[in-house]
Amino acid sequence: MNLSQHIKAPFYRIIGEEAEKLGIEVYAIGGFVRDILLERKNDDVDFVTNGKGIELAKACAKALGIKKVDIFKTYGTAHFKYHNLDLEFVGARKESYREHSRNPEVSPGTLEDDQRRRDFTVNALAISLQKNNFGDVIDPFDGIGDLEKKILRTPLNPDITFSDDPLRMMRAVRFSNQLGFKIADESWQAIKQNADRLKIVSMERIITEVNKIVMCDKPSIGFDLLFKTGLLHQFFPEMVRLHGVEKKNGIAHKDNFYHTIQVLDNLCVMSDKLWLRWSAIMHDIAKPPTKRFEEGAGWTFHGHEDLGARMVPKIFSRLKLPLDHQMKYVQKMVLLHLRPIALTKEEISDSAIRRLLFEAGDDIDDLMLLCKADITSKNEAKVKRYLANYEIVKQKLIELEEKDRIRNFQPPVTGEHIMETFGIGPGREVGIIKNAIKDAILDGIIHNAYQEAFDFMLAEGDKLGLKPKSSDQ
């Protein structure tokens, strides 16, 4: 097979010529080649040479008029940007790994050595940039055959490939999900066998793969594979605990693992926000620890939204996910995820809607998407009823927001105002009055407007025995 039609840009020939000048060979390799054959966009091009990767990168950058080259001496790699492409150069390597470490002992090798140490045959394809066979695909492990069959297979015995770098097991699941490929049987068995080796891999590398799964069109596929291989158990036991169904007095609850990944899929159709997707993953995370069987009521999960929100920081911290506004956002989503639907169970009061708007703030639209995704009953009539109620809540939210602007609620009377009016310092009373004003607005007793809030403040102050400064004088 020859792919020269796909590498027509002049810089590929120039890179080949620079290698020739240095007396070495160069190949484009890996995901870039795979993605040409799959017609996927890929702006990262990896080049491998037999030795002298850094030297070649410098020579190529010079020939292409690029000044800035990033050099990673310890890895023997170099990188520079060329137009919108990331070009990465590496000397071909032979690797062997030590038992308890991810850090390989690396020694120079041939192109084939380098292909052999790659994760999957479909990721081990190389394109020659030499003049005499420019564009020829070098495929010693039948990666092209596997690409056609849509199979992920390791170039070596999978036990060796996976135990050398256990992250490759995560990559197998990620590629399977992303590309719609099947993991070959022997590789599948090897993953199940080696799953606990994932422990030696840093959480940062693991979570990078997880997030790529989360960003797939249908992440349930990836999470199901993570569960079935035992990989999920190594880093996210709380999610594993969602799995399973218990039955008592003939009453079963739903399997919350499959429910969760269904919610995630539903949400993915509506939004590609990573942290909203994480909210779906986390929304029922506290169902197992809050599960009870109550005579008459059946299975209950009281307070799972509250406990779930409290579990988020610890889980995010362990998973090395960001702990600032992203984590707070997920916490808020988990805490509020039942609220919109709970509203539909009773007469929907304006006050309840205002409170929801106040608490969700600008994230109200995301919260509503999560709620919609959360409607997964097998009972069609139930789904229909929930969806109808959901639409009513949504409509009311729009109407009230237009009227009262609660979403970005700023109290019309501030704490300073209160202190100044009554001539008092900071203290308990200020908080009480402030809260009373907020509640009065949310409950519709007064409007979200200065004069009404001011009068209300005077009345509340009076109840506490406070008199406005001016009337004292």
Q: Which of 327, 386, 384, 339 is nearest to 364 (CA)?
A: 339
Residues 123-152 that bind ligand ATP (CB under 6 A): 123-124
30 lies in the binding site for ligand ATP (CB under 6 A) = yes
> How far, in Å, CA of 194 to CA of 229, rounded?
9
Radius of gyration of the chain (CA): 30
Say which amino acid occupies 351. S
Give the interface segment with ligand ATP, choosing from 115-123, 356-364, 411-419, 440-448 (CB under 6 A). 115-123
Give the interface segment with ligand ATP, choosing from 48-56, 67-75, 163-171, 291-299 (CB under 6 A). 163-171
> How far, in Å, CA of 260 to CA of 267, rounded?
11
- State the minimum distance, in angstroms, from the CB of residue 239 to ligand ATP: 23
Q: Which is nearer to Mg ion, 31 or 53 (CB)?
A: 31
Instruction: Name the region of 291 (left: φ>0; alpha: ψ -120 to 50; beta: rest).
Output: beta
> How far, in Å, CA of 24 to CA of 351, rounded?
75
44 lies in the binding site for ligand ATP (CB under 6 A) = yes
Using CB under 6 A, pick the residue from 18, 139, 146, 165 that binds ligand ATP. 165
Using CB under 5 A, pick the residue from 12, 19, 28, 31 that binds Mg ion. 31
Residue 390 DSSP SS3: helix
Q: Which is nearer to ligand ATP, 40 or 314 (CB)?
A: 40
Q: Which is nearer to ligand ATP, 138 or 353 (CB)?
A: 138
114 lies in the binding site for ligand ATP (CB under 6 A) = no
What angle, 0 to 180 degrees and rounded to 10, lies between the N-to-C axes of helices 220-229 and 203-214? 140
Using CB under 6 A, pick the residue from 25, 26, 31, 280 that binds ligand ATP. 31
Contact of 181 with 229, CB cutoff 8 Å: no
158 lies in the binding site for ligand ATP (CB under 6 A) = no
- State the minimum distance, in angstroms, from the CB of residue 212 to Mg ion: 11
- State the minimum distance, in angstroms, from the CB of residue 30 to ligand ATP: 3
91 lies in the binding site for ligand ATP (CB under 6 A) = no
> How far, in Å, CA of 107 to CA of 37, rounded?
30
217 lies in the binding site for ligand ATP (CB under 6 A) = no
44 lies in the binding site for Mg ion (CB under 5 A) = yes
Q: Which is nearer to ligand ATP, 79 or 287 (CB)?
A: 79
> How far, in Å, CA of 425 to CA of 435, rounded?
17
Six-digit token pair at 375?
Answer: 């409607």
118 lies in the binding site for ligand ATP (CB under 6 A) = yes
Six-digit token pair at 134?
Answer: 């420019």
Strand 251-252 to strand 292-294: parallel, antiparallel, or no bridges (unpaired)?
unpaired
119 binds, among Mg ion, ligand ATP, none (CB under 5 to 8 A by kind): ligand ATP
225 binds, among Mg ion, ligand ATP, none (CB under 5 to 8 A by kind): none
Q: Which is nearer to ligand ATP, 167 or 457 (CB)?
A: 167
> How far, in Å, CA of 365 to CA of 342, rounded?
17
153 lies in the binding site for ligand ATP (CB under 6 A) = no
Using CB under 6 A, pick the residue from 18, 119, 374, 404 that binds ligand ATP. 119
**Which ranges constitute the DSSP H helices of 412-465?**
415-422, 428-442, 450-463
Q: Which is nearer to ligand ATP, 123 or 260 (CB)?
A: 123
Contact of 105 with 90, CB cutoff 8 Å: no
Six-digit token pair at 396?
Answer: 């009311």
The sign of the torsion formed by the CA atoms of 400, 404, 405, 407 equals negative
| E strand or H helix at 29 | strand 26-29
209 binds, among ligand ATP, Mg ion, none (CB under 5 to 8 A by kind): none
Q: Which is nearer to Mg ion, 31 or 461 (CB)?
A: 31
Q: Which residues lie near Mg ion (CB under 5 A)?
A: 31, 44
Q: Which residues lie near ligand ATP (CB under 6 A)?
A: 30-31, 44, 46, 118-119, 123-124, 165, 167-168
